[in-house]
Every structure is written in C-alpha cells, then in structure tokens.
Amino acid sequence: METSRFTTSRRGFLGLVGTGAAVAALAACSTGGGGGGGGASASLKFWNMPWGTPAFNTLDSKITLGYKPESGLPAATYQAIQWANFNQTFSSALASKTGPAISSGGGTQAFQFAKQGFIAPADGLIESWKSNGLYDDFLPGVLDTMKTDAGYVAVPYNLDMRVNWYNRELLEKAGATPPTDWQSYLDAAAALKKIDVYGFAANGNASGGNAFQMIVGLMINNGGGIFDEEHKPNLVTAANIEALEFVRENISKGYMDPAAISYTATNANSQWKAEKFGMGFDVPNLAANVGGASSSQLVVGDPLTSASGKKGALYFPNNIMMYKNTPSQKGSEAFMTYYYQNMKALWTQNTGIGLPVLKSIAATPEFQSDQNAVKIVKMWQPIAKTWAAPGGTALFSNISYVDSTPAISDFGQNVLSGKSPKDALTTFQSTLTSLIKD
C-alpha cells in the first residue's frame, strides 16, 4: 500500500499580514537595496526555512556549503530561520542591511519586499537557465506564478496544494465509488453517512485549521476565486456562490462533522486516523500526518469536475528570492544555478520538503515510489491555480491579505457555520476592500 513520502506538514503559503509596522519601517529605511559589488571578499548568505524534518536543514546546509564558486565569486554560508517570528526576522535584517543575499520564506514575502525595493529580479537568472536545461525542467505553469509586470520576483522552490483524499476501505465498505465530479462526491458522502463516517472532512479552527483553503479551492474548481484581473477582490460571483452552495449542501445533509468548525489540522488528522473521516480535501502529506494503519488506506482521488464543468484546485508555490543587498549579483545567480542543479537529494532522501517544482525530481525512482505524490504532480498540479485566481496566475503583494489571515479565517468559519453563500462572500468582500488600499 502506498503512503505519502512527506513527513511534516509545512506552511504552504505564509503571508506578511500582521507586520504592517515592520513593512512601514522597511519603506522608511529602504534605499532601494544595495551591494552588487564586493567580489569574493564577503560571503553570500543563504537563509532557508525548516521545510521538513530536522534532516532537511542538515542536508540543505551540506548542499549549500558544498558550493565551490568560480574564481572571484563569493562562497556561500547557511542559516536556518525558524518560522516563529520569521516576518520580524527578515524585516529587521533587511532594514539594517544585515539580511541574506538569497532566501526562501513566506509564499508572498518576495512580492512584499519587491514592492519595498529589496528584491533583485530573477529575469537574468531564469533566462540563463534556457541554455542549461533548468528552464524546461519546471513543471507546467509554476514559473509564471512568479512573473509580474516588473519581471520575475522569485523562483519556485516547492509546492503545496489542497487535493481530494478518500479512505479506500471505507468507500468499499459503504458501497461507494471514488468521486469524479461534485454530484458523485455527494453520492459517495451520502453512502459514507450510512456507515457513520463523515464524507466532507474539514478543520475550521480560527488559529489551527485550514478549511478556508478547501473552500477557496472549490471556488477555483468552479472557475471562481478571490481576485480579478486588476488584483482587486471580486467575490460575489455566480461561480463562487455555486461553489459555496455545494459546501452548504454537504453541511446541511450531515456529511460534515458538526464539531469540525473548531477542529485544528491535528484534530482532523485524528478523525482520519479513527476512520471517522472518509473523504475530504487536505494537504499532500495527509497520509504521513495521519499515520497508523489507516494511512495505508488513504488515496488521492481524481480532480473533480465542478457543477459548471470545470476542474481546478488551490496550490501554493513556495519560492526562493534574491536580494539587492548582495556581495555579488553574479555570485547570487551562480549559487542559485548550483543549488537548483543539486537540490534533488532533499526529495530523494525523504526530508519532508513537499512537492518538487522540477520534472527531473518528480521522475526519480524515490519520488515515483509514492503513488499519491505522483498522482498529485501528474493530475492535480497542471489544473491548480494560486490565490490570484480567477484573474491571473502570478502572485502579488495584496495576496498577503488572504494568506492565513483573520479575514479569510473568518470567511471560512462563516461558510462552515451555515451563513448563506452570498452573505459570506459579501462580508469577505467588504473586509478585503477595507484592508486593501492600492
């Protein structure tokens, strides 16, 4: 039986909301970046997050310190940055010009810092990859998520998304078949209900749940989403209302655990493990998070065809960015090329980093051994869209207002508590409009 390779649930897409004071300080202190000279006299600082198990940063450091630069280019140093207070860590370091030359971070971090003048565009780097095969190695569409009118803000690094899972044994027991569209999903959930199993798994806790991601994923599935082509919130649409009606039907028919509105992800994992949840939308590493005997029965389903005949899902392209304050921009780009050519071991040695962005990594025997992960990359990633949907593909700074924020958490809770779709969407629209000033 297959189980997920990914052993640690990661922050797929972290915004910078809540750091308004820090961002304001950056705007006041910014001189538009700096550095660019310096040659090999100063080291190139690479800061990375703990994307997986403790083994991740250990191996990542080894890869980084194994970099042998060309003559005249700086060597690289490595520092692991913890998720706790990471916004403040980066903000303070950039304001004092003690920050990294290259880093990963929150999913919208590069877009926020680009707006403040700290990010070095990746256009030259990505163009250079057309000659060494890296450009064509990226999964379809992922590079486009980083491309703005001002150029590439960052480079995709690892992926997270929300996909449909089901417990194979429970569906068989209920006499149900794996769903392929919204109606067959409802049919399978009805069959599960007859054996006292919930078919619409959710975790709506305001601080430890991610049901709002599932809900937005269903909106995207139906051709909707949050933002229009002008990067403005446009929520009260027929596509979004229809998606929320689908959610409300699952709730009203008793397919969702009534306590789910207060569940954290950990609570939901326990329900999957206890075989009280039989179907639902969750993270790519759900099976590993659940553990135990039940995990071997968890299977990634096919992308669902929505009521409007569309397919789609929500995904989070985490990224690596370069900063203007570097001892050498040429050195930054040389290191990035080395790193992307040598980061495969982070996946093949099962460090829990998440889904790869490179086809060559997805094609390795180690990755191919996980049938669930393979299916996600093969069938879900090509139809997945970012928070920017339906208006576009590329991320932008205002997405930080919907990335794990109180505004979107409240929206999720309103939907799960039975508020009418139009009212829930109208309230969310009003909240976002009041927050977004540009």
**Alpha-carbon gap, residue 381 to 386, rounded angstroms:** 11
- In degrees rounded to 5, what are phi and psi of residue 12? -75, -30
**Alpha-carbon gap, residue 97 to 289, rounded angstroms:** 39
**Alpha-carbon gap, residue 127 to 130, rounded angstroms:** 6
pLDDT at 155 (0 to 100) = 98
pLDDT at 58 (0 to 100) = 98
Mean pLDDT of the chain: 91
pLDDT at 97 (0 to 100) = 95
Residues of the chain with pLDDT under 50: 1-40
3-state secondary structure of 151: strand
**All structural domains of the chain:** 20-160+317-384 (3.40.190.10), 163-282+405-435 (3.40.190.10)
pLDDT at 381 (0 to 100) = 97
pLDDT at 15 (0 to 100) = 37
CB 278 within 8 A of CB 166: yes
pLDDT at 41 (0 to 100) = 60
CB 194 within 8 A of CB 174: yes
Residue type, 343: M
pLDDT at 359 (0 to 100) = 98
Sequence-distant (6+) residues with CB within 8 A of 309 are none
Residue type, 239: A
What pTM, to 2 d.p., does this model score? 0.90
State how far Cα 163 lies from the chain centre.
Answer: 12
